[in-house]
Amino acid sequence: MVSGARNTAPSALNAPVAKGFAIDTDGPAGLMWHNGAMDRLTLIDSAIRMLAIGQLLLIATVIGRGHAPRAIRIATVTLFVCICAYLTLATPLQIDARGPLWALIQLAAQATPMMLWIFAHLLFERPLNRTAVTAAGIILFGCWIGFGVAGPHANSLGLWLGILQRGTSLAMTAHAILIAFRERGDDLIEKRRRLRVGFVIVVGILAVIVLVIEMIFGFRHTGVGVTLPQALAILVATMALGAALLQSDPDILFDPSAITAPPAPALTPSEHVLKQKLDAAMAGGLHRETGLTIGLLADRLGTPEHRLRALINQRLGYRNFSAFLNHHRIGEAKAMLADPAHVDLPILTIAMDLGYGSLAPFNRAFRQDSGEAPSDYRRRAILQK
């Protein structure tokens, strides 16, 4: 998110007390500050950053020791460490930002949008394109090396590297927000659904604002009048996330795959009736409808969406709506693939008939369910008969 360390702002530790004269800063806000007032704002900015970093490290520790899937824990902790690096690097304090430690902090800060992008994919169970991840990593690392070569002074190399790095970061951040928006209806646990979507969108919007400000004004020329609201916004978002996460509810953000759920009580009469309607709809092939969402299914069944979410998750045991749909779709696909009467039916046709928009998501769902490709399953099933 940044292309260099800040080293031109006045130091709050060494500056004199207010002299009573005004200076015109070169920052984008174009405000007039007294020396003493500016020093106090710088100290406030630094205190807010330290509070936010402490909160982020605490949350990262809790999540790292939690029951979430290992890949998500690693991505989450890495994302929070990258945000801490940005908070450290973007301080208005005068810092001699040289040496290998600051270079690593700069790399981590620049990696924040990429880690948010990876985190969103893992959180919402979206497949990661390895080619795209590799390309993004090469761009990130190449820009980091290039910034070191360009040095602290602005030149054409640094300018183009900044455009490339921030443009790539904006694209990844926007895609992370889009993933959260598109997948907002898939989670069956309402509290977790709201927090997941809110977290990715809030962090994404903050990252976009920071990137746009840096692209317009340049990283080194943003004064405390800009950095202070940024730090405050990150602190507020971090405290809100901490208040939600640091409670005795392991289900709040992640899928608690390592937690054994207690046996569900017997269905209530209303749940029993709703389950009968749901079973009848699935038997009638409603799961084959392309683009089916839990909202559309609730409308078809004539029931509130929250009741259907609770039934599918708490009574039937599915972690999200996609898992519920895939259970019915893949089960039917297996029957068709093993049927000698359909031996020449293209797999793409089967996927499309079952509601998948293309072959790729069908193949992923089938592999996740059976551990093998549809073509391998068909070959084995037909030859066994």
Task: Output the CA–CA distances (angstroms, integers) from residue 54 to 58, 76, 87, 307, 355, in the order listed.
Answer: 6, 16, 11, 39, 47
Q: What sections of the chain are H helices per DSSP?
A: 35-64, 70-89, 100-110, 112-123, 130-150, 156-182, 190-217, 224-245, 269-283, 294-301, 305-310, 321-337, 347-353, 359-370, 374-383
Q: Any idea what DSSP says for residue 258? A: T
Q: Tell me the C-alpha distance between 24 and 21, whole Å.
A: 10
Contact 191, 309 (CB under 8 A): no
Could you give the angle at which helices 70-89 and 35-64 cross, rounded to 10 degrees? 170
Using the CB atoms, write b or e for 193-226: b if 16+ within 10 Å: bebbbbbbbbbbebbbebbebbeebbbbbbbbbb
Q: How far from chain centre, in Å, is Cα 76?
A: 9
Q: Which residue has the tokens 């297996």?
A: 334
How confident is the model at residue 265, as a pLDDT? 64
How confident is the model at residue 18, as a pLDDT? 35
Q: Any idea what DSSP says for residue 288? A: G
Strand bridging mode 32-34 / 22-24: antiparallel
How confident is the model at residue 32, as a pLDDT? 42
Contact 207, 116 (CB under 8 A): yes
Q: Which residue has the tokens 């392991």?
A: 250
How confident is the model at residue 94, as a pLDDT? 59
How confident is the model at residue 357, as a pLDDT? 87
Burial class (CB in 10 A: 0-12, 13-18, 19+), 363: middle
In the Cβ-directed half-sphere of 294, how many Cα atoms lie within 13 Å?
A: 24
How confident is the model at residue 26, as a pLDDT? 45
Kindly give the parts of the chain with pLDDT less than 50: 4-34, 248, 250, 258-262
Using the CB atoms, write b or e for 311-342: b if 16+ within 10 Å: bbbebeebbbbbbbbbbbbbebbbebbbeeee
Contact 193, 187 (CB under 8 A): yes
How confident is the model at residue 13, as a pLDDT? 32
Q: How far from chain centre, in Å, is Cα 263?
A: 32
Contact 367, 375 (CB under 8 A): no
How confident is the model at residue 7, as a pLDDT? 43
- Nearest alpha-carbon partner for 245 in 78, 87, 92, 63: 63
Ordered domains of the chain (ranges, CATH): 22-245 (1.20.1070), 269-383 (1.10.10.60)
Instruction: Give residue-wise pLDDT tens across range 224-280.
Output: 777 788 788 888 888 877 776 666 454 555 655 544 444 556 788 898 999 999 999
Strand-pairing partners, residue 209, are: none
Q: Tell me the C-alpha distance between 342 and 323, whole Å.
A: 25
How confident is the model at residue 331, as a pLDDT? 94
How confident is the model at residue 289, as a pLDDT? 93
